[in-house]
Amino acid sequence: MPVHNEDIAVIFEEMADLLEIENANPFRVRAYRNAARTVRGLGRELSEMVAAGEDLTRLPGIGKDLAAKIEEILATGHARALDKLHKQVPASLEALLKIPGLGPKRVKLLYQQLHIRTLKQLENAARQGRLQDLPGFGVKIEQRILDTIEARRSQEKRFLHNTARQYAEPLVAYLRAVAGVDEVVVAGSYRRGKDTVGDLDILVTARADSPVMQRFIEYDEVHEIVSKGTTRATVFLRCGLQVDLRVVEQQSYGAALYYFTGSKAHNIRVRRLAQQRGLKINEYGVFKGERRIAGKTELSVFKAVGLPFIPPELREGRGEIEAAQANKLPRLITLQELRGDLHVHTNASDGNAGIEEMARAARQHGLEYIAITDHTRSLTVAHGLDEKRLHQQLEEIDRLNEKLGGITLLKGSEVDILEDGRLDLPESILSQLDLVIGAVHSKFRLSRSRQTARILRAMDSKYFTILAHPSGRLLEEREAYEVEMPRIIKAARERGCYLELNSQPQRLDLIDTYCQLAKEQGVLIAINSDGHSPANYGFLQDGINQARRGWLEKKNVLNACSLRELRKKLKATMG
């Protein structure tokens, strides 16, 4: 990767900052600052000067030592002296340096006078008004520091994939329409189908004269421009979502897409694989010495390191490379392969549409069957059904099945699992259903052993079919409850029942790694929308993303079965 003057200047500046915090000789500190300024103002690339054999010590402020460092940086991309400083200066102090308004002088002062080493300590001191009296500080600076810390915190927020999609899709369409733009694709965790994303990483290929950068920062939703260069820019949208845009050359598109899709863990392993073959792999291509041997397409990158294409969802460094080498990559489930949805609510409990409307919407989504599974009586907030109301619903389902074509309604219930593991409805009515989804909606804070025992007992019921949202987590809101999931997965196999992958964007529960475990154990997963309105079948896309991250194939998914097969399986479970 070419090293530019700016890269060198940044390294020198950082060295000056760290040396200053370390109380180094002020002349040394100044020497690095001057050198940074010289390098920036040069007007010619140092790499060219060195290549031409020019003597760097003739530059103002560059002595032998600095010239050697410049050559080192040009050759290796970094300076060992800086690496050493990084080890000496506490990382938390370096984080303080990144707060606007806090240079090395102030950071040093904070450390020496108030023993502040971390952001947390800085925040506390600022809240207590202890910063304003330090020399060179003041009320204004104190407030600005607080504001920055606040803003940073809100930026740490992750977005649900489904939410990010609502911003990503129109932005991608907008960029595609810009003159001279060729490819536009969202890479990063978004492309890997992760349940939440930290930011959007958009890659664009475009003609050199395309105004795509300018158009990007002019986009309606852009709230703040963090940085803008010729090939990369970072902005915040009004919703707080960060978007990184990179414009790459046509010939590097595949390499850049590969690199910025990640994950980092995956990339590191593949890079090692490349090294073993004497190749270098980076965002510009795959190189043998100076020669680029691949990079135009993502597939070419994989081929160069001797691998077949690995779907983005698998690129987490969890065995996908070994599987690829052994030609054992899964053929991941697709949305089109889902034939039904086994968890659907109506306005009989907390849904907002009737059975018929939910059925028609399902048909429009290309589904062949759905199970109506309203809540049960214990869940009073959701207006749960008692035996009598469920009975009425079953009769209505019979009538609708006569009347509707192209979709079959199954009889089900999302039955509360009570604290002691009993189900919330008597067997006399459960036995009339096609399937029973058991769900924990209360007592999330039982001990791990009691929570596990509670669920296992529920699974003991002859009529128990599917465990709904097995961990109970709500992304960015509520942690999963304590439970021994591997034991539950094992029990599901022994008892011939199933686990749900709930597709609600905030749930996406079962999580990917447990989907993988369930698959290994031979337990089928039901990918359900848990829909409460006709539009909610759209959640199935989120469930599919997660299922793919969990290595699931069609044969691992209960509702990828035909209705006939499904009925056979359910009959075996329900006796």
Nearer to ligand DGT among residue 137 and residue 259 (C-beta): 259
Nearer to ligand DGT among residue 260 and residue 464 (C-beta): 260
Beta bridge partners of 438: 415, 467
For 443, counting Cβ atoms within 10 Å of its Cβ (0-12 exposed, 13-18 middle, 19+ buried), the class is: middle
Nearer to Ca ion among residue 226 and residue 535 (C-beta): 226
Query: Do 343 and 373 contact (CB within 8 A), yes or no?
Result: yes
Nearer to ligand DGT among residue 198 and residue 538 (C-beta): 198
- Shortest distance in whole angstroms from residue 226 CB to Ca ion: 11
CA trace torsion 277, 282, 283, 284 (10° rounding): -80
Nearer to ligand DGT among residue 267 and residue 349 (C-beta): 267
Specify the pairing of strand 498-502 against strand 466-467.
Answer: parallel
- Shortest distance in whole angstroms from residue 263 CB to Ca ion: 10
What does each C-alpha distance from 523 to 50, 493, 497, 501 come to in angstroms?
63, 5, 8, 12
Q: Does 189 bind ligand DGT (CB under 6 A)?
A: yes
Nearer to Ca ion among residue 113 and residue 231 (C-beta): 231
Q: Does 384 bind ligand DGT (CB under 6 A)?
A: no
Candidates 199, 298, 316, 500: give the one binding ligand DGT (CB under 6 A).
Answer: 199
Q: What share of the chain is helix, strand, coil (3-state, %, to 5)?
A: 50, 15, 35
Site map (CB under 6 A) of ligand DGT, residues 21-60, x = contact: ----------------------------------------
Task: Choose the binding region for ligand DGT from 36-44, 59-67, 187-195, 474-482 (rule: CB under 6 A).
Answer: 187-195
Nearer to ligand DGT among residue 234 and residue 401 (C-beta): 234
Nearer to Ca ion among residue 73 and residue 203 (C-beta): 203
Judged by beta carbon distances under 5 to 8 A according to partner kind, the member of ligand DGT, Ca ion, none in contact with residue 103 is none
Report residue 279: phi and psi, to 5°.
Answer: -115, 155
Judged by beta carbon distances under 5 to 8 A according to partner kind, the member of ligand DGT, Ca ion, none in contact with residue 260 is ligand DGT
Alpha-helix residue ranges (DSSP H) falling in 210-330: 212-218, 253-261, 264-276, 298-304, 320-325
Q: Does 317 bind ligand DGT (CB under 6 A)?
A: no
Nearer to Ca ion among residue 374 and residue 542 (C-beta): 542
Q: Which residue is nearest to Ca ion (CB)?
A: 188
- Shortest distance in whole angstroms from residue 262 CB to Ca ion: 8
For residue 282, the 8-state DSSP code is: E
Nearer to Ca ion among residue 161 and residue 343 (C-beta): 161
- Shortest distance in whole angstroms from residue 548 CB to ligand DGT: 16
- Shortest distance in whole angstroms from residue 200 CB to ligand DGT: 8
- Of 478, 432, 485, nearest to 459 by C-alpha is 485
Assigned token pair, 51: 């290549």
Q: Which residue is nearest to ligand DGT (CB)?
A: 262
Distance CA 468, CA 498 (A): 9
For residue 397, the Cα-to-chain-centroid distance in whole angstroms is 39
Binding footprint of Ca ion on the chain (CB under 5 A): 188-189, 199, 201, 244
Specify the pairing of strand 408-416 against strand 369-372.
Answer: parallel
Beta bridge partners of 243: 200, 235
Indicate if the alpha-carbon torsion angle 95, 101, 105, 107 is positive or negative. Answer: negative
Specify the pairing of strand 222-228 against strand 498-502.
Answer: unpaired
Judged by beta carbon distances under 5 to 8 A according to partner kind, the member of ligand DGT, Ca ion, none in contact with residue 263 is ligand DGT
- Shortest distance in whole angstroms from residue 239 CB to Ca ion: 15
Judged by beta carbon distances under 5 to 8 A according to partner kind, the member of Ca ion, ligand DGT, none in contact with residue 264 is ligand DGT
- Shortest distance in whole angstroms from residue 197 CB to Ca ion: 6
Site map (CB under 6 A) of ligand DGT, residues 246-275, x = contact: -------------xx-xxx--xx-------
- Shortest distance in whole angstroms from residue 282 CB to ligand DGT: 9
AA letter at 256: A
- Shortest distance in whole angstroms from residue 187 CB to ligand DGT: 6
Nearer to ligand DGT among residue 193 and residue 543 (C-beta): 193
Distance CA 235, CA 224 (A): 6
Judged by beta carbon distances under 5 to 8 A according to partner kind, the member of ligand DGT, Ca ion, none in contact with residue 139 is none
The structure tokens 């094992």 sit at 490
Distance CA 549, CA 197 (A): 14
Contacts of 106 (CB under 8 A, 6+ apart): 134, 136, 137
Q: Does 195 bind ligand DGT (CB under 6 A)?
A: no
**Sequential DSSP letters for 169-229:** HHHHHHHHTSTTEEEEEE-HHHHTT-SEESEEEEEEEE-TT--HHHHHHH-TTEEEEEEE-
Nearer to Ca ion among residue 252 and residue 556 (C-beta): 252
Residues that bind ligand DGT (CB under 6 A): 188-189, 194, 197-199, 201, 259-260, 262-264, 267-268
